[in-house]
Structure 1
């Protein structure tokens, strides 16, 4: 029996991400902020299985708590499938079976990875023949992180974070991820940042953010110690103010041997950079003994692709 006969659909795997650098500019009239970020795709993946259907339906499961993931029309992956059908004139539907591994509402782009995987899967299932660039453009209409999950690797994002340019990253960077059982609202974290800066700071009142050359050099060198010196996230301070428990994890991990730690995206997941896989395994053990969940991952990895 062939693989096609065993599974008459398409399976796509898409990665979660870490923002190794994130600078946030002022807020535009539409509510979005000007961003400059360095993304790295890491080895926590979302799997999306797409099969032909008359309507658009979805099922969600996974190794993480998925109780907070919508399974109705508000789900980003389902929105992605509907958008692709609308844009290409596809007359049918699809059933999406999502298997999640990226922490939910954790600042690692799990929902965006689902949407990216859905776009790639449905394009293949329906033979709509869009290019990666066209899929990324559709993804940008769904969320700022979706295009990067299609691209993968390491990239610089500007604008809302969806204008991407690949960045050279040599070697492999080792990370230890500490998820949190209580997710955080991205809009709330940005709102806290605005409040800390003086509330309604407009885009023309804050200098255009940029990714410093030191970050690019560190990625290009493949030197974890150099990258550790360059890690930065403007959303970390507001996230820690909203969630003091996250600060405790960050301080503990850094005291236990991490080169550096930072809040991933808008939080509350913490990403600790370590020098080697052996150092990562040791840190995982220390975090686990202290009662925290710890997951060893690495980057960069590929973007959304058919498995």
Structure 2
């Protein structure tokens, strides 16, 4: 069985405040891209994983965590040989790990004939990461709570993302950036709600995307040395706006077609920056 696990971007991301359990409530609009990891699953005696390129330890890998969680929660004793080919930049704010984990839940549910409900799969996905439930269905949604309360939205047609993914590693990135936020970075979720409504009624424009926000923008510039240089280069190359995805360090803009995206990527290449161009799907 071969499946694809797509990347995502956050078209808008608001942090509403800290919860009693230590997590944060958010309001975010997510959309999948045709930039995707490839996963294969074959029946086997036990569980095994091959990943190219190698990504961290097997214990931390969300693919193995998802497979073991599924066996633990269902009592299933079947196994699988799993292979992952990574195309989504790692720890970049594009949801690659969460997407791989969600794809694993869906694929093994089918391979092992478990027949779990979407509700139960969503509960398992939520234990893997805040973005994982979104990847069970995609392609676009308004997410609230920890990111697990989803309102589906229609796919945005005809839009392309141009991405810059600075190779800036930061251990414990998401937790550290949440910890850097102050109440001045919090908002009430109305911006994400307004954008979701515009997407829902088909009126969303480039100006609406440009007016959206990401609560991590301020602290990301502090946390990722050199990120501002990428942002300036993006604007100098002609990006209509620049937005952080997730907790970064990836930044993106949206354009109205592949030719425009390729021209922007070529302009970035001429400045010494390698960009990804991906359709919203």
With normalisation by structure 1, the TM-score equals: 0.84
Aligned counterparts of 2:35 and 2:277: Cα–Cα separation in 1: 9
**Residues 154-197 of structure 1: CA distance to partner in whole angstroms, max 9, x if unpaired?**
10000001111101344221110111222341111111224xx4
Partner residue of 2:104? 118
Q: SS where residue 134 of structure 2 aligns?
A: helix
Label 1:169 to 1:93 Cα distance change in 2 as closer, same or farther (>3 A): closer
Label 1:268 to 1:170 Cα distance change in 2 as closer, same or farther (>3 A): closer
1:121-140 paired onto structure 2 within 5 Å: 121-140=107-126
Partner residue of 2:90? 104
Q: Among residues 169, 181, 195, which one is paired with 2:167 in the alignment? A: 181
Label 1:70 to 1:170 Cα distance change in 2 as closer, same or farther (>3 A): closer
Partner residue of 2:198? 217
The RMSD of aligned alpha carbons is 2.0
Shift, 1:208, TM fit: 4.5
Aligned length: 278
Moved more, 179-188 or 155-164: 179-188
Label 1:212 to 1:40 Cα distance change in 2 as closer, same or farther (>3 A): same
Aligned counterparts of 1:219 and 1:238: Cα–Cα separation in 2: 30
Q: Among residues 76, 90, 97, which one is paired with 1:90 in the alignment? A: 76
Aligned counterparts of 1:100 and 1:172: Cα–Cα separation in 2: 26
Moved more, 144-153 or 250-259: 250-259
Shift, 1:25, TM fit: 1.9
Gaps of 5+ in 1: 1-9, 302-307
Moved more, 222-231 or 34-43: 222-231
Aligned counterparts of 1:180 and 1:127: Cα–Cα separation in 2: 41
Partner residue of 1:146? 132
Partner residue of 2:29? 38
1:7-22 paired onto structure 2 within 5 Å: 10-22=1-13
**Residues 235-258 of structure 1: CA distance to partner in whole angstroms, max 9, x if unpaired?**
111111212411111122123221
Label 1:224 to 1:103 Cα distance change in 2 as closer, same or farther (>3 A): farther
Gaps of 5+ in 2: none
- Verify the 8 A CA contact 2:16 2:25 in the aligned structure 1: yes
Partner residue of 1:256? 237
- Verify the 8 A CA contact 1:47 1:100 in the aligned structure 2: yes
Aligned counterparts of 2:255 and 2:187: Cα–Cα separation in 1: 32
Partner residue of 1:168? 154
Aligned counterparts of 1:123 and 1:218: Cα–Cα separation in 2: 32
**Residues 13-55 of structure 1: CA distance to partner in whole angstroms, max 9, x if unpaired?**
1211000000002222332111000001111111111122222
Partner residue of 1:4? none
Shift, 1:86, TM fit: 1.6
